[in-house]
Amino acid sequence: MKRRQFLTSLSAIPVAMGALAARADQADWPRQTDHDRGVLTLKAAPGRIVSTSPSLTGLLLAIGAPLEASAATTVGRLTDESGFFRQWAEIAHARGVRTLYPNLDFDMEALLIAGPDLVVGSSTGADSLLPYLAEIEAQGLPTLVLDYSKTSWQSLARILGRATGHEAGADTAIAEFDRRAAQAAARLGPSGRAVSIVGYDIAGTYSIGRSESPQADVLRALGLTVTPLPEALRGAVTRVSNMDFISRETLSAAIAEDTVILLGADDSDVAAFMADPLLANLPAVQKGQVYPMGLSSFRVDYYSALEMIATLETALTA
């Protein structure tokens, strides 16, 4: 099946199920939703949602929520020409989702012109809405703020499904992921293989994946176990999110396993890792057990999670 057909078929089911759920639950309002900044109360199901976080936009699309516009990030190899992440850009354009503002340059005027009845934003990352939250709330716009760095995409989908009346869309997306993960895990064979997740030279940074992170959740569904940074190196960490950031000089000692999965990477990144003289003595390099997780794995949503499964299934069975 061609990629366009694949994405279209995946997106259609949550939309249909979500629409049915919204109609069925019209009496189930107002609703309250816990989020990172308190409790949001919505009197009715939102009909014009805008996302200020490209990292959350894919989830809104996956559950079939009525997304009017999304902020776009800087154009690069992770995005299409409009700054939408590649894993969901095609579906967003097909549904008529507009660009709220480009390059993550927050624009209050653009937000007001969009006329949303729900603003969805992030409390973390380069697309964090927190610096502008007071200004937005002063305009009377209902706002839901979530942390995508520490929470599985399934948990985020359920929160967004509950808040928008698209619980059925969230359930359908999660069930589709579970089906694909089980299928891939069966093909990969016995479970329990230990791996290290490594962020290698991503915008000049180096990091080790944590055992409790959105990426580790996807690997766990495939039967893999993520080994984190050795505790002896905890003092070398310079920054923490879903990854522990360290220096390039510390990287070799920080990789604990003989199998390495590279975050946000394709085959060219694997080649660069294998050719790095500082890493030449690593068992993973000497055994040729370094694999890409896929370019879209840097931020995990429904679509990138499915791409991660497909990439790792191919790489680990080659």
Using one digit for the tens of pLDDT, what is the confidence trace for 60-95? 999 999 999 999 999 999 999 999 999 999 999 999
User: What six digits make up the tokens of 146?
Assistant: 């979530």
User: What six digits make up the tokens of 71?
Assistant: 């902020």
CA dihedral 157, 161, 162, 164 (to 10 degrees): 130
Q: Is the pLDDT of residue 4 over 60?
A: no
Neighbours of 39 (CB within 10 A): 8
Mean pLDDT value of segment 34-58: 96
Count of residues making up the chain: 318
Q: Is the pLDDT of residue 190 over 50?
A: yes
Q: Is the pLDDT of residue 225 over 60?
A: yes
Rounded percentage of the chain residues whose pLDDT exceeds 70? 91
Mean pLDDT value of segment 98-117: 97
Q: Which residues contact 105 (CB under 8 A, 6 or more apart)?
A: none
- Rg of the Cα atoms in the chain: 20
Q: Tell me the pLDDT tens digit for each residue of 116-134.
A: 999 999 999 899 999 999 9
Mean pLDDT value of segment 18-23: 47
Q: Is the pLDDT of residue 14 over 70?
A: no
Q: Is the pLDDT of residue 9 over 60?
A: no
Q: Is the pLDDT of residue 237 over 80?
A: yes
Q: Is the pLDDT of residue 16 over 60?
A: no
Residue-averaged pLDDT of the chain: 91
Return the bridge partners of 245, or none.
207, 239
Q: Is the pLDDT of residue 22 over 90?
A: no
- Residue 144 to residue 147: CA distance in whole angstroms: 10
Contact yes or no for 220/152 (Cβ under 8 A): no
Q: Within a 13 Å sphere around the CA of 176, how many CA atoms are in the beta-carbon half?
A: 23
C-alpha of 238 from chain center: 23
Lowest mean pLDDT: which of 16-25, 108-117, 239-248, 290-299? Answer: 16-25
Report the pLDDT value the prediction gives residue 26, as an integer from 0 to 100.
Answer: 63
Neighbours of 42 (CB within 10 A): 18
Q: How confident is the model at residue 318 (pLDDT cuts 50, 70, 90)?
A: confident
Report the pLDDT value the prediction gives residue 80, as an integer from 0 to 100.
Answer: 97
DSSP class of residue 165 equals: T
Rounded percentage of the chain residues whose pLDDT exceeds 90? 83
Report the pLDDT value the prediction gives residue 18, as an integer from 0 to 100.
Answer: 46
Q: Which residues contact 20 (CB under 8 A, 6 or more apart)?
A: 168
3-class secondary structure, 125: coil
